[in-house]
Structure 1
């Protein structure tokens, strides 16, 4: 299977929205409301060139949203279609996000997840992210995490 990550286009909007729904809808019961990624305007994010999609054999199966910040690249969202979960596609997208952050001149990448998404916190910790703070924003309890990026060749 051939995988590639590319900038999303307006033609990817339906696939992006479908993947986000499938990846986050089950958290509604746990959190008590829709998680942040279900509320985002993906048409606008695609128009701003903030979304990249992961394709495998021509099918869009994942996405990553990156937002430049002052001191770190913000990994705003990463989602993998349920059919592709466990296939390594998420890890491929995380690695690409880190490379894109380095290419943009950042020394760190930051993300946040809902504190109720404990499996996400554990995953990010295993791959080198450290918790930096917990805050309530937009009615959601978020855990911010940060990873220093290795800029060596």
Structure 2
């Protein structure tokens, strides 16, 4: 059974680990908790809420961030040959653990991975109605590269040169 992190947890030595099938329930619960606030604003569930996580584990890099032996966040990414970048498909931090730097930790980890693979940038997108995310990505050095509607979602695309 998945447990929610408590807000009394403090960052100790967070550890990145490859997600396993056993982590799927926790990832799904975390995604649902984090993204449910956007359902009303968007008029439908955000794409990660309907993700087939078992399939994603087979086709993408899915990492979990553990702190105090609890999963506090997750990041999904893959090499995007078209843009010659490491593309972040999803980054999520449990709502109870937001504001502790875990999101920044997850993204910095992927930036390091991109550099190890000789890739010049990290790319991602977010929904145009997730204005908090847009501001956060800009503060982290990502530049907006475009906006388009895909799969019925209005998406804002970003790139960070490394």
TM-score range, shorter chain: over 0.9
Give the drift of 1:113.
Answer: 0.4
Q: Is the 8 A contact 1:63 1:79 kept in 2?
A: yes
Please list every run of 5 or more consecutive structure 1 residues that lacks an aligned counterpart in the other structure: none
Moved over 3 A (4+): none
Q: TM-score, normalised by structure 1?
A: 0.93
Please list every run of 5 or more consecutive structure 2 residues that lacks an aligned counterpart in the other structure: 1-11
Give the drift of 1:102.
Answer: 1.5
Is residue 120 of structure 2 the alignment partner of residue 73 of structure 1?
Answer: no
What residue is the counterpart of 2:70 in the other structure? 59
What residue is the counterpart of 2:26 in the other structure? 15
What pairs up with 1:1-153 in 2 under 5 angstroms?
1-70=12-81, 71-149=84-162
After superposition, the C-alpha distances for 1:100-136 in whole angstroms (9 at most, x for unaligned) are: 1212221011000000111111110111101101000
Give the drift of 1:47.
Answer: 2.7
Q: Is the 8 A contact 1:51 1:64 kept in 2?
A: yes
RMSD: 1.0
Give the drift of 1:61.
Answer: 1.0
Q: TM-score, normalised by structure 2?
A: 0.88
Counting matched residue pairs gives: 149
